[in-house]
Amino acid sequence: MADYLPHTDEDVAAMLAFLGLQDLDELFAAVPAAMRLAGGLDLADGEPEPDVLARMDAFARANRAADLLCFAGAGAYDHEVPPVVRALAGRSEFVTAYTPYQPEVAQGVLQAVFEYQTMVARLSGLPVANASLYDGASALVEAVNLGAGASGRQTVWVSSGVHPHWRGCLRTFSRGSGHQILEIPLAGGVTAWPGDTAVAPGAPGGAAGRPPGAAAGGPPGVVVVAYPNYLGCLEDLAPVRRLADAHGATMVVAADPVAAGILRSAGEWGADVVVGEGQAFGTPLSFGGPYLGLFCCTTAQVRRLPGRLVGETVDLEGRRAYVTTLRAREQDIRREKATSNVCTNQTLMAVTAAVQLGWLGTGGLAEVALRCARGTRYLRDAALAIDGVSPLTGSTPVVRELALRTRPPARTVVDRMAAEGFLAGVALADLVGDDGDGSVDADGAAHGLLVAVTERRTVEEINGYLVALDKAVRQ
């Protein structure tokens, strides 16, 4: 096989000199010796390229993870990506496009983004959606920035049901922004909002419905909740709206856009801002990205909207046309008045999501969400009949995801089920830490297993999973 190396010897030498290294072995010294290739690939010289690719594929299939049936979620999900989505979103017109600064040469991309905004706004139940952000976590940061600016207060009450990584991202950015983050714990799988005895009788709370530790930061300027939360549990958003109204705070909802196919929208619950992760719409699981941040808000907050907003107008000849109506980035027209510098275009992922949503339609999205919910309920009911498995969140309704407590630690169950061909889920100890983070107690973190069921999982696959789970907890 002929060699093809994109980097010349001069390129490699320049790179090593810049890094202050002697050779390539020093560059890869951090890779453990046991993980390095020893002795070459045992390929004959002159092998045809298709034959070499077939051999590489065989090597890849030797990895245990290559053929595991996925029941893991925790923010990234194994949803179906129809061929039409890959075919249309992969067209060169979209793949090579970036920021449509010049509308006269970017009408196709601008229209696609406009359609994306329209569909995402409908999912959220709010009138305005932007032209995308990096991912759900950065979208949450932007929402808190917007909410704090609108209320004029830096204290942020965040439900522990918001994804742990999202909360971690928010805490990191708050060190620079000055936001004071106060996390509200869960009880029975849902948020124990201060003073809301309907959710959690006896939940912590002080005078005027403030949780312990809230006095120093004053009343909240922003209240954040997940819908459903990262444990898959459905939250009642009515108490959140009441809490926000009582303190004059901005209500931010981190909503699952797939579950929006069957749930009352966050906008209907009174959310001021809705954020989410759009990976489920056409982006396959691929080593952690790229992802897509969803962001919607009320008309009153449109001037604080991060990123870009594409609008519809008419040109000089009266024909329908599309333009970037609003750009709030510091790189663009607002400079020091910018509301955001943690955003990007993400057009390709936005277009992909638009194609997926357009292909599914309202009925198709509802069917996907319903299949997820039914599969999750089926697995939950059967799993709880297994000796050694119990619910981590009581009887709280769940959608697509559920948290189980297993008698062996969840990490052990995950390892054992991998040998049976299943990616069993995500051990909460890996997600929140062995000591917990306010989401679950220490025992729940160690023994909790977060399981996801998407529309791709068949009854036969779920039954196989249950057999493997029964075996794993009995060993």
One DSSP character per residue, 331-383 reads TTTTGGG-SBSS----HHHHHHHHHHHHHHHHHHHHHHHHHHHHHHHHHHHHH
**pLDDT > 70: what percent of the chain?**
90
Are 247 and 155 found together in one domain? yes
Whole-model pTM: value is 0.84
- Is 90 exceeded by the pLDDT of residue 39? no
Smallest CA-to-CA distance from 104 within 289, 396, 356, 319 is with: 319
Residue 117: what pLDDT?
96
- Name the H helices within 178-315: 238-247
CA atoms within 13 A on the CB side of 349: 22
- Is 60 exceeded by the pLDDT of residue 179? yes
pLDDT band at residue 206 using 50, 70 and 90 as cut-offs: very low
Are 351 and 263 found together in one domain? yes
- Is 90 exceeded by the pLDDT of residue 162? yes
In a domain, 1, yes or no: no
CB-CB contact of 171 with 156 (8 Å): no
Are 388 and 263 found together in one domain? no
> Which residues fall within 8 angstroms of residue 213, CB to CB, at 6 or more apart?
182
Backbone phi, psi, residue 203, to 5°: -65, 150
Residue 442: what pLDDT?
75
Range of the domain at 458: 66-82+362-474
In a domain, 2, yes or no: no
Are 148 and 243 found together in one domain? yes
**CA-atom Rg of the chain in angstroms:** 24
Are 198 and 238 found together in one domain? yes
Domain boundary among the residues 356, 371, 391 is at 356
Q: How many domains does the structure of the chain reveal?
A: 3
Are 343 and 374 found together in one domain? no
- Is 90 exceeded by the pLDDT of residue 212? no
- Is 60 exceeded by the pLDDT of residue 209? no
CB-CB contact of 159 with 191 (8 Å): yes
Residue type, 448: G
Per-residue pLDDT tens digits for 48-83: 777 887 888 787 777 766 578 999 999 999 999 988
Residue type, 436: G
